[in-house]
Amino acid sequence: MAKSYEKEHPVKAFGWAARDTSGVLSPFHFSRRATGEKDLRFKVLYTGICHSDLHHLKNDWGSSKYPLVPGHEIVGVVTEVGSKVQKFKVGDKVGVGCLIGSCRTCEDCADDLENYCPKKIITYDGPRYYDGTLTFGGYSDHMVVDEHFAIHWPEKLPLDGGAPLLCAGITTYSPLKHFGLDKPGVHIGVVGLGGLGHVAVKFAKAFGAKVTVISTSPSKKEEALKEFGADSFLVSRDAEAMQAAAGTLHGIIDTVSAVHPILPLLSLLKNHAKYILLGAPGKPLELPVFPLLLGRKIVAGSAIGGIKETEEMLNFAAEHGITADVEVIPIDYVNTAIERLAKNDVRYRFVIDVGNTLKAA
C-alpha cells in the first residue's frame, strides 16, 4: 500500500530496546518515519507492559528482530497531524494498541476485523512498515501512526489504569461479545486471575454474567470474590470441588500463557458450551477429543479485536468504571518489572510512566 509522507526527513526518537535474546532493555536512539498526510504524531505518556512483551524480548516465539522496542498498550497526547487527518487535532488524548497497519481491502478489514488481516502490521517487532522502516513500540518518547489505527481516549477513563485495556481489555472483551457470553445470567469461568483474567472478570460482571474464577492459587480467592466481584472460586487442583462444579458453565475464558491441562477444565462446561483460549503458551497444549464429541463442546481462540471494537470497548470501560489494576513504574525500573512479570509477581499489570520518567541520554 503506497503512502504519502509530507516531511523529507525522519524524526529522531528515544526509547529503551533489547539487543538480543537476553531481553535486557537499555537506552536506545532511533528514528520514527516522517509524518504522512494521514498520520498523527503523539507524545507517549503511559505504556503498559504486556506478557507478550516478555515473549518478544526473549524470542520465545522464534520471530523476534533486534533491536526491539516493545510496547503496544500506549496512551499519549497528539502533537502533530498530517494535512488529511480528519479525526484528530493537536492536544487530543489518544490510544494505540497492538495494530498500526492492515491492507484495508480484504474481507476481514471490510468487517472491521483488522486484527485478522493477513497483511496486518503489529505495533512492534512486526513486518516493516509500508515505507520499509522497522516497527518500534511504546517504550519510547513518541509514536507516529495512521489515524485509522488511533483511538480517541474517553474523557472519564484514567490514562494509567486504562492503558492495559488496549491489549488486555480488548483481548477479553472481544471473545465475550463474539461468543455470546455478554448477556445477563450467563455463567462464565475465567481461568487464571492475572493480567488478562482480572480484566475478564470485570467485563463479564459488567455484562451481568455470573463469574467463577478458576485458579491453581487458593490465596487468590479473597481477591477474586471481594475485590473483583466474582461469584465463586474454584481451585483447579481440588478434584472434589471440580467434580461438584462439573457441567455448570456456559463458557470458559482461559487466560493462562503456560502449558496446562485442559481436560479437567472441559468437564466444567455444559453441553454445547465454549472453551476460549486467550493465552499463548510456548509449547502446544494437549487437546482431548472425547469430551468435545460427547458434549458438542467448542474449543476456540481469539486475538485482540479490530479498531472499531477496541473503541467500543474503551467507551464501555469508561461508562462502567473498568480499569486494570496497575503498578505504575519509572522507565529505569523496566528490567526489574520484566523479571517480576516472568515470576507472576505483579498485581496485575505494570504500566510505565513514560511521559515523566523517560529522559534522553
Q: What is the pLDDT of residue 25?
A: 98
Q: Which residue's C-alpha cell is 498523527? A: 40
Q: Per DSSP, what are the bridge partners of residue 191?
A: 214, 254
Residues 6+ positions from 133 with CB-CB distance below 8 Å? 10, 31, 32, 33
Q: What is the pLDDT of residue 264?
A: 95
Element (H, E) at 107: helix 107-110
Residues 6+ positions from 33 with CB-CB distance below 8 Å? 5, 10, 11, 129, 131, 133, 144
Q: What is the pLDDT of residue 6?
A: 45
What tens-digit pLDDT sequence spans the chain (361 residues)?
Answer: 445 444 457 899 999 999 999 999 999 999 999 999 999 999 999 999 999 999 999 998 899 999 999 999 999 999 999 999 999 999 999 999 999 999 999 999 999 999 999 999 999 998 888 888 889 999 999 999 999 999 999 999 999 999 999 999 999 999 999 999 999 999 999 999 999 999 999 999 999 999 999 999 999 999 999 999 999 999 999 999 999 999 999 999 999 988 999 999 999 999 999 999 999 887 899 999 999 999 999 999 999 999 999 999 999 999 999 999 999 999 999 999 999 999 999 999 999 999 999 998 7
Q: Between helices 51-58 and 334-342, what is the axis angle to 10°?
A: 100
Amino acid in the structure at residue 41: R
Radius of gyration of the chain (CA): 20
Element (H, E) at 48: strand 39-49
Residue of 45, 351, 356, 315 lying closest to 157 (CA atoms): 315
Q: What is the pLDDT of residue 8?
A: 58
Alpha carbon distances (Å) from 281 to 60, 92, 108, 164, 286 = 9, 37, 26, 20, 11
Query: What DSSP assignment string belongs to 259-315?
Result: ----HHHHTTEEEEEEEEE----SSPPP--SHHHHHHT-EEEE-----HHHHHHHHH
Residues 6+ positions from 238 with CB-CB distance below 8 Å? none
Q: Which residue's C-alpha cell is 474481507? A: 107
Neighbouring CB atoms inside 10 A of 182's CB total: 19
Full-model pTM = 0.94
